[in-house]
Amino acid sequence: MIIVAKKADGAIIARYEAWATGAYENALADIDRDGFRYLSEEITFMGDMIIWVQ
């Protein structure tokens, strides 16, 4: 799972199935389109990726 979340309050903006073709690229494109700024990313102990935005 790829999760896009706001760094300030942890609110989840979007979720993407990581196995879907182009999921990471789609997440980055949606972040830009929706006016958020990419900050960083991390992998959780459960294997999910969190992309932090502002």
- Residue 5 DSSP class: E
**pLDDT at site 54:** 97
Distances in whole angstroms, Cα of residue 5 to Cα of each of 11, 13, 27, 44:
5, 5, 11, 13
pLDDT digits (tens, 9 = 90+) for 9-28: 999 999 999 999 999 999 99
**pLDDT at site 20:** 95
pLDDT digits (tens, 9 = 90+) for 34-50: 999 999 999 999 999 99
The pTM assigned to this predicted structure is 0.92
- Residue 18 DSSP class: T
**pLDDT at site 12:** 98
The Cα–Cα gap between 10 and 26 comes to: 20
**pLDDT at site 3:** 98
